[in-house]
Structure 1
Amino acid sequence: MAYELESSTTVPATPMAAYSLVSDVTRTGEWSEQTHLVEWSGEERGEGATFTGHNRTPDRQWTTVSTVVTDAPGEEFSWSVGDAQVIWGYRMRPAADGTTLTLFTQFGPRAEEVFAQRFGDDAAEQIEIRRQAAVDGMPLTLSRIRALLTD
């Protein structure tokens, strides 16, 4: 049940402008389908820095702690979520009319183990619920980011 997903859009901004927005995790609530509030855990920024995300859906609310794993200004910003080590991030590539912004996620073997421990026989269904939420939410997230970079 491991998976990798990505979705891309072109934004009317430079790669650095796109990076500056998406790497400001405190603004995530402006575009995320599930995360409504994010707080840095301390003063540290860049790779190794941690932040807490407050998330909600109609069915539940939860908090996660994430660690920045890639912080390459104008190129990529990504983080690992909690014990499951699910990776989320953004890649920026120059395009003729701005920047190609790609949102990606990787749900790997460690996440499968954590879900098996947490959900038992229901793990596969819980993984699929999250995979489908990502498939549905990623284009909407990117459209909201594009709108913010258009203003």
Structure 2
Amino acid sequence: MSQPRILDHRESITIQASSDSVYELVSDITRTGEWSPVCTRCWWDDDAAAGQMGSWFTGHNELPHRTWETRSQVVAAERGREFAWVVGGDRVRWGYTLMPAGTGTTLTESWDFLPGGIAMFEEKFGDDAPAQIADRTQQALDSIPTTLAAIKRIAESSGSREGDRS
């Protein structure tokens, strides 16, 4: 019998900054390259709708063996509480939830490989789909702690707090 596949994951970190300032940071997708080990840059497809529910953005991703771009749609944008998007409209949901924690914020990053993503991998890769899904899953699991640590460092830096509007 094969091992069950992990198709969702959540990990948290406590940051000594307000929920509003952490939200401002993680919802500014143009800064993603500062903390993501894979997504080197992002831009809003329509600046007028930037950061709002339903808005779309493009991400440029790089690994040693491949480079690609994805389009994602914002599916949660609640200041100080949650910011999330779905890659390709139905493939993978990434997000951040924020909870007050004493004088700081607990930031949780989540990743969910959705049925639409699994179907796309099965269609694209055929018999190799399980290996490709396992590879992408491992990449996500490996990158989340690195991402959270970098967001914490940035949010707690004095430069980030100078712009804190909360």
**1:134 aligns to 2:140 (yes or no):** yes
- Shift of residue 110 of structure 1? 1.3
* Equivalent residue, structure 1, for 2:118: 112
- TM-score (ref. length: structure 1): 0.96
Q: How many residues align?
A: 151
**1:44 aligns to 2:49 (yes or no):** yes
CA change 1:15–1:77 in 2 (3 A) is same
Could you tell me the percent identity over the aligned residues? 42
SS in 1 for 2:49: coil
Unaligned runs of 5+ residues in structure 1 are none
SS in 1 for 2:144: helix
Matched residues in 2 for 1:84 and 1:122: separation?
21
Give 1:18-57 correspondences, 5 Å limit. 18-42=22-46, 43-45=48-50, 46-57=52-63
Matched residues in 2 for 1:38 and 1:111: separation?
21
Give 1:1-150 correspondences, 5 Å limit. 1=5, 3-42=7-46, 43-45=48-50, 46-82=52-88, 84-150=90-156
Matched residues in 1 for 2:90 and 2:132: separation?
13
- Shift of residue 139 of structure 1? 0.5
Which structure's CA Rg is the greater one?
A: 2
Runs of 4+ in 1 over 2 A off after TM superposition: none
| Matched-pair contact (CA < 8 Å) for 1:10–1:98 | yes
- TM-score (ref. length: structure 2): 0.88
